[in-house]
Amino acid sequence: MTIYTAADRQAFQALLPALREGDCVQIGSLSVIAADSAGLFEAAAELEARGAELISLGEALDTRSESGKLFFALCRSLRELDGSKPPRRREGVERAKEEGRYRGRKPIAVDESLFDSVVSLWQSGQITARDAMARLDLKPNTFYRRIKEREEQKMKDYKKVEHEIRDEIKEAAKQSRRDLDELKKQVRAEAKEVKEVADEKLKLHDVEREMRHDRIRAEVEHRDAVRQMKKDVEAEAKELKKLAEQG
């Protein structure tokens, strides 16, 4: 919460665009912010609309207190009194509502682009709320109601866009999971193919190794057979030599 001090009406109007909910404006007296009751109601409405508080030292007014809160309520009631219905008309409206014939007052036609531009000037502090109402030819209650409706519509639009974005994010996440699952399938299939090729090469390697071992064994056996044959021939030659010598 920030407490601002306004020494005159111009300073007060300059402060309005910077006010945020919970902020407070301190003034010497109510005459600082308004020259008449209509201006006072307008200033109170602006502060209330922004969620800001008011301290007036001259009148010992502090809207943060329980008694001070009545100030905004009183200004609101007096402001709305200007647009209240005459008793007879009010009775007719109530009767029409009971009979199901009441359709409400026809909305006041307002140029939307003009309304936006004027409200933008007011919110930026370039003109006062009274100037804005004069340019739009609107009463205070209608002016602030329209602003409230605009803010509510903006919030609805924001929530709609937020909801759409969330749906898009969810759909993108689902698609990402589907793409990931498909990629996993492809990787598994490729891994299976690589394993099969590797196994086949390993089998060929085993066959080649077995053939090489068989060839080595055959060579060893052949060499051993040749050696044995040589021994046998040498032994027979010795025997023949002995027989020849004895004969």
The residue range of the domain holding 11 is 1-84
Residue 185 included in any domain: no
Residue 164 included in any domain: no
CA distances in angstroms from 240 to 170, 228, 232, 247, listed in the order given: 104, 18, 12, 11
Residue 244 included in any domain: no
The three-point CA angle 226-230-235 to 5° equals 150
Residue 81 is predicted with a pLDDT of 67
CA distances in angstroms from 107 to 94, 113, 146, 163, 243, listed in the order given: 19, 17, 10, 30, 148
pTM reported for the whole predicted model: 0.36
Residue 169 phi, psi (nearest 5) = -65, -40
Residue 57 included in any domain: yes
Residue 245 included in any domain: no
Tell me how many domains the chain contains: 1
Residue type, position 60, single letter: A
Helices assigned H by DSSP within the chain? 9-15, 37-49, 66-81, 87-98, 112-123, 129-136, 140-246
β-bridge pairing 53-56 and 61-62: antiparallel
What's the rounded Cα separation, in Å, for the pair 39 and 46?
Answer: 11
Residue type, position 72, single letter: F
Cβ atoms of 61 and 92 within 8 Å: the answer is no
CA distances in angstroms from 20 to 25, 178, 227, listed in the order given: 11, 47, 112
Residue 92 included in any domain: no
What's the rounded Cα separation, in Å, for the pair 70 and 11?
Answer: 25
Residue 56 included in any domain: yes
Q: What CATH code is carried by the domain that includes residue 78?
A: 3.40.50.1390
Residue 35 included in any domain: yes
What's the rounded Cα separation, in Å, for the pair 57 and 55?
Answer: 6
Residue 70 is predicted with a pLDDT of 82
Per-residue pLDDT of the chain in tens (247 residues, 90 and over written 9): 788 898 888 888 888 888 888 899 999 988 888 888 888 888 888 888 888 899 999 888 898 887 788 887 788 777 766 554 444 445 554 655 565 554 545 455 567 888 888 888 998 889 888 888 888 888 888 888 888 888 888 888 888 888 888 888 888 888 988 888 898 888 888 888 888 888 888 888 888 888 888 888 888 888 888 888 888 888 888 888 888 887 6
Residue 110 is predicted with a pLDDT of 66
